[in-house]
Chains A and B, each alone.
Chain A
């Protein structure tokens, strides 16, 4: 082992350790709810909801005004005793299902959810047929082994 390749794992370990520092810097929202249970639900909600302006960020990651306003709205609704489902329903009714990172199951998007299973079934069928065909070819092969 050359000295260079020996230092590589150390470098990787060092970089991974540095990653640990990044996390607190990503937290955009310093707001805290007094009730820790509400705070926990709040954290989950803002990670599952999309910032409607900067569409690839969650509400938790975005420092856009609208994201800050939506977080405030969510805190208010939590304090009013609304359930997560009620909060999500409200936001979906205003911004469409797009605001949920994980779309809901519905007949409209059933094809999307069933597509992986369908593709897997097609793949398995094709594979089984190919293997059977090849096996049949071997059975019929009467040439002398070389």
Chain B
């Protein structure tokens, strides 16, 4: 009985420690939606090019190559933060970087690209926002890395930092794409 008196509070305390530890461990991820699409085929998408709406680009045409899909908008402050990182990424690697201009005004988007520089190999436009929903986008910026089989191998929620680019993107790409073309 004496031992029981001692064990019960100890057990409660251990449980409390366990719960707090789990909570603390998860706190870094609070507010970050884990996409159920990671490690699955990217949902089929096809969007018109920003400055050439007659032509469309999509998952079907991109099968067989690695690409980065960056969802942004000229209205998005975090995208402005991320922008220099993307410019540098474009200059120092040869992977295709596709910008999805999300719920934006074409003129604003073009002004942004000419003023701040264009980090994208291609820019497509999702005016209505239904492709973004199909890709599970909650807020800009979000960035996908898609492999030649069309599988999303990584998704970044929020801005890509130089470190993320190095570790999460370049680290997954084959070496010939992870450096700039000769």
- B residues near A95, Cβ cutoff 8 Å: 33, 35-36, 136, 138
Is the pair A69, B138 in contact by a Cβ cutoff of 8 Å? no
User: In the complex, which residues of chain B have a beta carbon less than 8 angstroms from the beta carbon of A66?
Assistant: 129, 132-133, 137-139
One digit per residue, 1 when the CB lies within 8 angstroms of any chain B CB and 0 when it does not, for chain A 45-79 equals 00000001101000000000110011001000000
Are the C-beta atoms of A52 and B130 separated by less than 8 Å? no
Q: In the bound complex, do residue B33 and residue A69 qualify as a contact, i.e. CB atoms below 8 Å apart?
A: no
- Size bracket of the A interface: 10 to 19
Residues in A whose Cβ lies below 8 Å from that of B31: 55
Interface size class of B (residues with CB under 8 A): 10 to 19
A96 close to chain B: CB less than 8 A: yes
Interface bits B99-142 vs A (CB < 8 Å: 1, else 0): 00001000000000000000000000000111011111111000
Q: How far is the CA of A55 from the CA of B34 in the complex (A)?
A: 13
Q: Which residues of A contact B36 (CB under 8 A)?
A: 92-96
For residue B1, which residue of chain A has the nearest CB?
A: A133
Chain A residues within 8 Å of B130, by CB: 69, 73
Interface SS of chain B: helix, strand, loop or mixed? loop
Q: Known contacts being A53-B138, A53-B139, A65-B103, is A96 close to B132, with CB within 8 Å? A: no
Which B residues are CB-close (under 8 A) to A53? 138-139
Query: Could you tell me the distance between the alpha carbons of A66 and B129 in the complex, rounded to whole angstroms?
Result: 8
Shortest Cβ distance from B167 into chain A, in angstroms?
24
Bound form: Cα–Cα A107–B128 in Å:
38
Is A98 at the interface (CB under 8 A from chain B)? yes
Chain B residue at smallest Cβ distance from A69: B129
Interface string of A115-131 (1 = CB under 8 A from B): 00000000000000000
Partner of A94, one of B34, B37, B129, B139: B37
Q: How far does the Cβ of A65 sit from chain B's closest Cβ, in whole Å?
A: 6
Q: Which 8 A-B pairs have the closest CB atoms?
A: A94-B136, A52-B138, A69-B129, A96-B36, A53-B139, A53-B138, A95-B136, A73-B133
What are 26 A-B contacts defined by CB distance under 8 Å? A52-B33, A52-B138, A53-B138, A53-B139, A55-B31, A65-B103, A66-B129, A66-B132, A66-B133, A66-B137, A66-B138, A69-B128, A69-B130, A69-B132, A69-B133, A73-B130, A73-B133, A93-B36, A93-B37, A94-B36, A94-B134, A94-B135, A95-B35, A95-B138, A96-B33, A98-B34
A residues whose Cβ falls under 8 Å from a Cβ of B: 52-53, 55, 65-66, 69-70, 73, 92-96, 98
B residues near A (Cβ < 8 Å) are 31, 33-37, 43, 103, 128-130, 132-139
